Structure 1
Amino acid sequence: MINIENYDTTFSIKNSIVQYLFESSGQKKLIKGVQYSKFETKSGETVYNLGFGDYDSETKGIFDRKSSNNGDARKVFNTVLNTIPKFLKEFPDFPIFIQGSDSHNSFEEECRSSCSKNCNIICKNKDRRIRTYIHFLDKKIKVFSKDYTFYGFDEKKKTFVEYEPKNKYTAILVYKKK
């Protein structure tokens, strides 16, 4: 990965769930987490889903449905990104699936019920998180392609295709090159 300002993380693994926890110290102190959860695809491939959000100490899980707007978004995002090479170093045989929690079909309806933006035709918040990942990847693709292979989910084709910068994808698969 590239050298970018980020928070230190603590690593834990339990029942095939890998977590990197850190303290976001923006306007207030919040515990956040990056969670990699194992699942199998229809074809039987084992993949880990990257989830990110506020850490719930009672459930030991990650709540990814809201933004805490803590004033340190860039450093938090950089921290999330820096867990990817750490994870792939520990688990090089498994790809990472990345999709924003705002990419699900039900998101738009949920958003409209509480949104202050009054989006009439297209929800401006839908797919915002995956667009952030894609924007960053597009800028750094040459650097990352040395060690990783990327695929983007093409909604029209309903399948993953070789990643090409500037295309619209609703999810990304990341593989460590061998």
Structure 2
Amino acid sequence: MASSSNTYEVREERSSAQLEYVFISVGRQIVPKIIQYTLTHQFEDRDVYNLGFGDYNDKSDQIEDHIKSGNGDAYKVFNTVLSTIPLFFERFADAILIVQGSDGGPDFIEKCQRTCIRKCHLSCRKFNQRVAIYRNFVEKHFSALSYHYWFLGGYTNDRMSLTTEKYILGRAYNAILMFKK
């Protein structure tokens, strides 16, 4: 999915319910990062895994997926995340992968408005910004990616349940689902 020449080296860690790739972002500072594929549920006899990503906080032993490090290596970090997707499908060939942003939850807008300097009143500019990055990548490379993967677009409703459809280029989805052909 991404050129390996512009990625960080990853270390794989596995457990029964998740797969993790750990790497170090080297820029203005040294930042440990974790890409986490977590089993969330089953859909039509397939395991569904959520792609999570963020800075690793060694004090809390947690992934902080709401932080923007500003480390000056965003493209290399993003390419590293993308480079693990084929590795994920090597381990879980029949799985469905779902990508949603930590900035797409029901409480995000309320939290954002408390500290927002832009004072977005009608719609929050930061809402679903993270999934938009993945969506833009899929849109740009859809033809090539479609040789290997099927894509669905997902919308969340007021009760936070997900409705999916065959991926349509140009739609602003809250989630992207993909699985191998």
* TM value normalised by structure 1: 0.92
Aligned to 2:167: 163
Aligned to 2:98: 97
The unaligned stretches of length 5 or more in structure 1 are none
Contact 2:3 2:83 in 1 (8 A): no
* Cα distance change, pair 60–89 in 1 and its aligned pair in 2 (3 A): farther
* Cα distance change, pair 32–95 in 1 and its aligned pair in 2 (3 A): same
The SS at the match of 2:151 is strand
Summarize deviations over 1:55-107 as a string: whole Å, max 9, x none: 13355442202211111111111111111111011110111110000011110
Measured in 2, the distance between the counterparts of 1:158 and 1:100 equals 14
Aligned to 1:8: 9
Aligned to 1:108: 109
Aligned to 1:119: 120
Identity rate of aligned residues, in percent? Answer: 36
The SS at the match of 1:23 is strand
Q: C-alpha root-mean-square deviation of aligned residues, in Å?
A: 1.9
Measured in 2, the distance between the counterparts of 1:44 and 1:106 equals 31
Aligned to 1:131: 132
* TM value normalised by structure 2: 0.90
Q: How does 1:77-96 map to 2 (within 5 A)?
A: 77-96=78-97
Measured in 1, the distance between the counterparts of 2:43 and 2:164 equals 13
Once the two structures are overlaid, the 10-residue window that deviates more, 62-71 or 123-132, is 62-71
Q: How does 1:35-114 map to 2 (within 5 A)?
A: 35-41=36-42, 45-58=46-59, 60-114=61-115
Measured in 2, the distance between the counterparts of 1:24 and 1:158 equals 33
Shift in Å, 1:116:
1.9
Measured in 2, the distance between the counterparts of 1:37 and 1:58 equals 22
